[in-house]
Structure 1
Amino acid sequence: MDNFTYHRPASVGDAVAAMKAASDGKYLSGGMTLIPTMKQGLASPSDIVDLSGLKNAGITVGATVVINAGTTHAEVAGNAALKKAIPGLAALAGGIGDPHVRHKGTIGGSIANNDPAADYPSACLGLNATIHTNSRKVPADQFFTGMFSTALDEGEVVTAIEFPIPKKSGYAKFPNPASLYAMVGVFAAQGSDGAARVAVTGAGAGVFRVPAMEAALSKDFSAAALNGITVPAKDLNSDLHATAEYRAHLIGVMAKRAVEKAR
């Protein structure tokens, strides 16, 4: 790991200022991705801006659910009010990594990093969430732009994620047995208006929705409604863990499981 300048600002404004002044700075939230990457020599930032000093954690459940960006996965998984409002989201958080990762990693860090196999992006898309930053609000459909890529501008900080409360929600994933990242994960939700959303992570270059499944579930929110609906393998990931064809098959299986969990 190379030398770097460490900053621990106490306000969002100070964090943004430190990042703008750095030649090649990185924000540090939980550090579950950044620190291992630096140890492997794959990233050598000039400056680290540690966001833990912002003390921006907490969950508010009202007409919507607002989760501050510094909230850990363990806090999301264990929040009683959230379990009642959006059980699928709480269950998703409880299945991320191991206890160490869940008690250190944060929801803001996860979505800002946008790993193609991360769990939270599927919840953001599946629940039609809104990403709050220090300067604006971005719909989840516009936030995730590609592999490790988001709509965040240089220096922009995620401050909170706002989730509408659905009628039903469920998440199912087929985890890599070593990393517990999703080889395929599917979040399914039925909105308050009855419209369904289905979001897939782990299968492609980034999180994506499945319109055909959404249309079927909007008419009949049941696993049986997904019979015969497939996702083409053409643009899916293929590696030593699973072929693109196997991931395509898993999308159908995980989607049905997610719907059953939601019901």
Structure 2
Amino acid sequence: MYEFNYQKASSADAAAQALGSAEDGKVMAGGMTLIPTLKQRLASPSDVIDLAGAGMVGISRSGDTLVIGAMTTHGAVAGSSEVQSAIPALAYLAGTIGDPAVRARGTIGGSIANNDPAADYPSAVVALNATVKTTKREIAADDFFTGMFDTALEEDEIITEVHFPIPKKAGYAKFKNPASRYPMAGSFVAETADGIRVAIIGAGPGVFRVKDYEDALSSNFSKDAIKDGVVSADGLNSDIHGSADYRAHLCTVMTRRAIDAVG
């Protein structure tokens, strides 16, 4: 691990100010990605700004919207009666992330900001058409995730809350790599106020929507409406764990399972 300056922020605004003042600062939420990266000397930031004491924790319902603070852990989301009642699929998704240790420390804001291609939360953010609130602005789900490990966040911008419109119904399913537990493909299906939205994670370099699935389900919300071969293998991940063609097939299988899981 390289030497760095450690700062513990007292608020989101203080963290953003410290980040903007640092030569090459990094924000730490739960530390599930940053700490291993530092230990392996894959990053050498000048400063690490810890959000552990900055607040941004909590879950509340405001009308037809579920508001989750950025520093709320996966375990808290999974165990929340508010989430279980409003968006059961989101509670289920959170409960499948990693293992108990990861769910106890990892945060929704940290996961979204990191935007790992195999992270679960981006599928829910996109499928539910959520809004990501930051220290500077509000960002629509379709504009937030811009590429592999890349988002629309500016260098001194920090996520404070995620606002999830409560859908009419939603479901989530994923196929885990048995060794790493990261999803090789996952699908979040939601019927929102604006129509059907389907978001896939794990199969490609980032989260993506499948319009053909959305159109088919708009006419017939049934797994029988989802046919194989809709998702092209072009651009999907291919490695020792599975080819791009295999992952394309998993997109269909997981979407059909997500429909079965709709609640």
Q: TM-score range by the shorter chain?
A: over 0.9
Give, in whole Å, the separation in 1 of the partners of 2:189 and 2:52. Answer: 32
* Counterpart Cα distance in 1 of 2:50 and 2:179: 28
Aligned match of 2:13: 13
Deviations 1:80-128 (A, max 9, x none): 1111110110000000000000000000000000001100000000100
Residue by residue, what CA displacement relative to the aligned partner does 1:39-60 show, whole Å, maximum 9, x if unpaired? 1111111100001111211001
Distance 2:21 2:193 in 1: 44
Segments of 5+ residues of structure 1 without an aligned counterpart are none
Using structure 2 for the length normalisation, give the TM-score: 0.97
1:110 paired with 2:103, answer no
- Residue 170 (structure 1) aligns with: 171
Secondary structure in 2 aligned to 1:186?
Answer: strand
Query: Deviations for 1:190-246, whole angstroms, at most 9, x for unmatched residues?
Result: 1135x1100000111110000000011111111111135520101100011110000
* Cα contact 1:190–1:221 (8 A) shared by 2: no
Equivalent residue of 1:18, what SS? Answer: helix
C-alpha distance in structure 1 between counterparts of 2:121 and 2:228, whole Å: 27
Alignment-derived partner of residue 76 in structure 1 = 77
Whole-Å Cα distance in 2 between the matches of residues 229 and 133 of structure 1? Answer: 38
| C-alpha contact (below 8 Å) 1:212/1:229 kept by paired residues | no
1:199 maps to which residue? 199
The answer on whether the counterparts of 1:172 and 1:255 sit within 8 Å (CA) in structure 2 is yes
Quote the residue 1:216 is aligned against: 216
- Correspondences of 1:64-143 after superposition (within 5 Å): 64-143=65-144
Give, as a single letter, the amino acid of the residue that structure 2 aligns with 1:175: K
Gap regions ≥5 residues in structure 2? none
Give the stretch that moved more between structures: 225-234 or 4-13. Answer: 225-234
Aligned to 1:146: 147
Structure 1 stretches of at least 4 aligned residues deviating more than 6 Å after TM superposition: none
Q: 1 CA distance for matches of 2:182 and 2:145?
A: 18
Counterpart-to-counterpart distance in 1, 2:25 and 2:258? 38
Q: CA–CA distance in 2 between the matches of 1:129 and 1:92?
A: 15
Cα contact 2:12–2:55 (8 A) shared by 1? no
Is the contact made by 2:11 and 2:55 (CA closer than 8 Å) also made in structure 1? no
**Where does residue 43 of structure 1 map in the other structure?**
43
> CA offsets per residue over residues 9-64 of structure 1, 9 Å max, x none?
11222111111111111000000001001111111111000011112110012320
Q: Which amino acid aligns with 1:163?
A: F
Q: Does the Cα contact within 8 Å between 2:167 and 2:192 map onto a contact in 1?
A: yes
Aligned to 1:254: 254
Q: What one-letter code is carried by the residue in structure 1 that aligns with 2:8?
A: R
Mapped contact 1:238–1:244 kept (Cα < 8 A): yes
Q: Separation in 1 of the partners of 2:240 and 2:42?
A: 22
8 Å CA contact 1:57, 1:68 repeated in 2: yes
After superposing the two structures, state which structure 1 stretch, 36-45 or 249-258, moved more.
Answer: 36-45
What SS does the corresponding residue of 1:122 show, helix, strand or coil? helix
Residue 55 of structure 2: aligned partner: 55
**Could you list the per-position Cα deviations for residues 153-178 of structure 1 after superposition, in whole angstroms to 9, with x for gaps in the alignment?**
11100000001111111110001112
Distance 1:144 1:29 in 2: 18
State the identity as a percent: 57
After superposing the two structures, state which structure 1 stretch, 107-116 or 226-235, moved more.
226-235
Q: Give the partner amino acid of 1:77.
A: A
Once residues 83 and 167 of structure 1 are traced to their aligned partners in structure 2, the CA distance between those partners, rounded to angstroms, is: 14
Question: What are the residue-to-residue correspondences of 1:175-194 with 2, within 5 Å?
Answer: 175-192=176-193
Q: How many residues end up aligned between the 2 structures?
A: 262
TM-score normalised to the size of structure 1? 0.97
Task: State whether structure 2 residue 238 is matched by structure 1 residue 238.
Answer: yes
Residues 56, 71 of structure 2: 8 Å contact kept = yes
